[in-house]
Amino acid sequence: MSKVTISEVNRMDRETFVEAFGDIYETSPWVAEETYSERPFSSLEELQSSLELCVREAPREKTMELLRAHPDLGEKTEMTEASQKEQASAGLDQLSRSQYEAFQELNERYREKFGFPFIMAVKGESPDAIRARMEERVEHSKPTEFETALTEVHKIARLRLEERFASR
C-alpha cells in the first residue's frame, strides 16, 4: 500500500479502510471495522487514539483473542509480513541455537502463566534486550502483564500506522 494522508483516510469507504488498516492490530480487522464510524479524523494521532480506544473498550475475551493472535518472539513459524519484518529488525530471525532455545523456554513459561504470548514492540531492539525484558516480565502479576502487553500492542500499532502515512 502506498503512503496515505489523513484526508485520503477520511474519504475511504468501509471496505478500503478495513483493507488499509485491518492488520494494524495483528490479524484483528475488527479493530479497524469498529473504528471506521469514528471518521473523520483530524490527524494520525486521532486515528491512533480511536483505534486504541476501540481495543480498550472491547470485551476482555476479544482483547485476549487479539493478544493471542501475536506470534511468539523468535519462533520459526508462519506469521504476518509485518511481524516477520519487525522480528527481523531485532535479529530474531538469526538467533543462535542457544538463544533460540532460551527464547522458546521463556515463551513457554510466559504463555503458560498469562495465556497469551510475550508481546513487545521489538523494532530496533537486540535479542539480548528482548530476552532481558522477557525474563523481567514473566515475573509480573497477571493484571500488570495484561496491561503491559496491551501497551506494547498499541506501540506496535503506532509504528505500523506511521509506516503507512505520508510525511506531514
Cell of 100: 533460540
Does the annotation mark 70 as catalytic?
yes
Calpha distance 117→107 (Å, rounded): 7
Task: Compute, in degrees rounded to 10, the torsion defined by CA atoms 115, 117, 120, 125.
Answer: 150
Q: What secondary structure letter does DSSP report for 165?
A: B
Alpha carbons 127 and 79: distance in angstroms, whole number: 18
Query: How far apart (Å, rounded) are the C-alpha atoms in residues 141 and 22?
Result: 31
| Active-site position among 36, 41, 70, 116 | 70
Catalytic center residues: 70
